[in-house]
């Protein structure tokens, strides 16, 4: 079987909320929650934390080392290069792109994307279903990413890694992997980019993260938000930056 690596992109110098990667949720750092969720997906052979090569990342790197996660350090803005370095580091043929803002990335969807991607041998696999921001992931063939790296130096394609696929729909893309029903058409914002996002996550992890059940069940989280609109609206006013523009 071809090697599949989850590449987790993160940095401590976020413009809107610096240091969020190590912010504690239910006593565990945000980045550790993400790593633990990825570890539970048995279809993934390696996890690589891809960070900027800057002194600011020392504590983040130490956390990854403690959790036995591989680390690559590369250019801060050229995230595509970081991803290719990560793939090289573990000899991966396919990568699962996971953002360091998303402590509730959905594991069931991740598995579906990987299975479909490998079965159909596409360059890039996503779901086109509308799902909560912060719950999705993407799967890409490393050779396709290498080709993009040789074609363009344009910042929006180097910083955002998969934007090229969206702007060039003739590429071998598979956008029709169905998302789990509990995610579809749910309007919630489950990423961490602002203080309001953190406030919502604190409520969620307080409710669903325990020593006996450390990985919050996303179907239960969605059900909770459905029945607690006062909590769901904590960050509903936040406007997401359009990083594909």
pLDDT in tens, 103-161: 999 999 999 999 999 999 999 999 999 999 999 999 999 999 999 999 999 999 999 89
- Give the chain's mean pLDDT: 94
In the chain, the percentage of residues whose pLDDT exceeds 70 is 98
Q: Could you tell me the pTM of the whole model?
A: 0.95
Q: What is the Cα–Cα distance from 209 to 244, expressed in whole angstroms? A: 33
Q: What is the Cα–Cα distance from 100 to 110, expressed in whole angstroms? A: 15
Higher pLDDT, 190 or 243: 190
- Specify the pLDDT at position 15: 82
pLDDT in tens, 160-174: 899 999 898 777 888
Sorted by where each starts, the structural domains of the chain and their CATH numbers stand as: 4-235 (3.90.550.10)
- Specify the pLDDT at position 245: 45
């Amino acid at each position: 079987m071809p090697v599949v690596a989850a590449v987790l992109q993160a940095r401590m110098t976020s413009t809107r909320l610096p240091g969020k990667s190590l912010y504690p949720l239910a006593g565990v750092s945000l980045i550790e929650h993400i790593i633990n969720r990825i570890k539970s997906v048995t279809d993934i052979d390696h996890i690589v934390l891809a960070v900027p090569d800057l002194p600011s990342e020392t504590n983040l790197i130490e956390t990854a080392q403690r959790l036995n996660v591989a680390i690559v350090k590369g250019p801060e803005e050229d995230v595509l290069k970081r991803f290719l370095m990560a793939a090289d580091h573990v000899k991966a043929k396919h990568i699962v792109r996971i953002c360091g803002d998303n402590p509730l990335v959905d594991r069931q969807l991740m598995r579906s994307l990987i299975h479909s991607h490998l079965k159909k041998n596409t360059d890039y696999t996503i779901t086109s279903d509308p799902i909560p921001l912060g719950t999705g992931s993407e799967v890409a063939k490393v050779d396709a990413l290498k080709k993009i790296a040789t074609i363009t130096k344009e910042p929006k394609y180097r910083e955002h890694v998969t934007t090229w696929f969206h702007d060039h729909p003739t590429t071998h893309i598979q956008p029709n992997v169905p998302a789990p029903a509990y995610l579809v058409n749910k309007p919630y914002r489950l990423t961490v980019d602002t203080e309001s996002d953190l406030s919502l996550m604190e409520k969620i992890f307080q409710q669903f993260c325990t020593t006996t059940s450390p990985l919050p069940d996303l179907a239960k989280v969605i059900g909770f938000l459905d029945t607690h609109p006062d909590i769901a609206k904590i960050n509903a006013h936040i406007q997401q930056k359009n990083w594909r523009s």
